[in-house]
Amino acid sequence: MRTAWQMNLNSIEIRHLRYFVAVAESGTFRAAADRLHVSQPPLTRQIQQLEELLGTELFVRHPRGVALTAAGKLFFEDARNILTLTEQALDRVRLASQGELGRLDIGIFGSAALDVVPRIIQSFRKQHPQVQIVLHNIDRQGQIKALAERRITVGFNRFFSEEVGLVWETILTERLHLAVPAAHPFARQEKVALADVQGQPLILYPRASRGGFIDHLLRMFHQRNLTPNIVQEVDDVVTAVALVAAGAGLSLVVDSACNLNLPGVVYVPLREKDGAVFDLYMIHRDDDESPLLKAFLAVARAQKTRSPKIARAAS
């Protein structure tokens, strides 16, 4: 059963605190009423009611105005802090409702982290500086699972298939390049045909981690009755290009990976048009109507473009 004191506390409203702080800071009821844009009698009644609810006087009244009692001085500091916290809470709610505040969890993987996604995030940070962005390095199936479990808000990857409850859209279309050592004959060519790659030592990726990408590459070879000479498999594109720089072989990469400016590596576009284009998708839940996601999608779509022309060589 609630005590009378608890019932009194539940009767205290923000209005009481706001009026009390105004009187304490102004020194007179008249000045406080002017500041609050209210008439003096209702203000006086609200302060009297607050004192009754607290069971103690907060002000000493004298002809020239009011002064805080000992209890009033203690209450003043806490009341002012409560009002400040209330204003901050209201501001945070307003910002969150406009997509200006909160936490955005983004799934990335592979070369998606090397070009367009950083540009999107950089632009979003400039427009929404109070939003916390957390990146998660998750492969395609992991992103789908994380979206379903609401552990990430949006993901970026390639070769998404239809999934119930998810929406995906193309955010970037990229070409395929051959990463070669600067001393390799291919480095002096404007373009390279896939048939010319036959027999060349290739550094690619295991199907377990980059299944969609590898399956697409293998189809390209098989459609031309070619067999890739895969001499080494690595888990990520950075390692693949680093091995190219070391002269361990050649690698097939998309435009985004060409931003890896390692000394001694040249990126040469493939001649083949069919099958030599890769889409990067942005994916999110179809039931997510949060202002934060809407704000991010707007920024991402503004960045949506075909990949820019890539410099051929990294000196």
Segment 144-156, tens digit of pLDDT: 999 999 999 999 9
pTM for this model (two decimals):
0.65
pLDDT at 62 > cutoff 80:
yes
Q: Give me the CATH topology for the region 4-97.
A: Arc Repressor Mutant, subunit A (1.10.10)
pLDDT of residue 23: 92
pLDDT of residue 283: 93
Same fold, 102-171+278-310 and 174-276: yes
* Percent of the chain at pLDDT exceeding 70: 88
The superfamily (CATH) of domain 102-171+278-310 is Periplasmic binding protein-like II (3.40.190.10)
pLDDT at 301 > cutoff 50:
yes
Q: Hey, where are the domains in the chain?
A: 4-97, 102-171+278-310, 174-276
Least confident span in 41-45, 87-91, 134-138: 87-91
pLDDT of residue 244: 94
Q: What is the pLDDT averaged over residues 118-147?
A: 90
pLDDT of residue 12: 85
Burial 210-227 (b: 16+ CB within 10 A, else e): bebbbebbbebbeeeeee
Scan for tokens 């004192």, then name that residue: 51
pLDDT at 54 > cutoff 70:
yes
Question: Token digits for 122?
Answer: 């950089």
CATH classification code of 174-276? 3.40.190.10
Q: How confident is the model at residue 255 (pLDDT cuts 50, 70, 90)?
A: confident
Q: How confident is the model at residue 273 (pLDDT cuts 50, 70, 90)?
A: low
Say how far apart CA 33 and CA 43 lie, in whole Å: 7
* Percent of the chain at pLDDT exceeding 90: 45
pLDDT at 308 > cutoff 50:
no
- Residue 39 · residue 19 · CB < 8 Å: no
Say how far apart CA 18 and CA 16 lie, in whole Å: 6
How big is the chain, counted in residues? 315
pLDDT at 306 > cutoff 50:
no
Amino acid at 98: Q
pLDDT of residue 279: 83
Question: Token digits for 28?
Answer: 């007179």
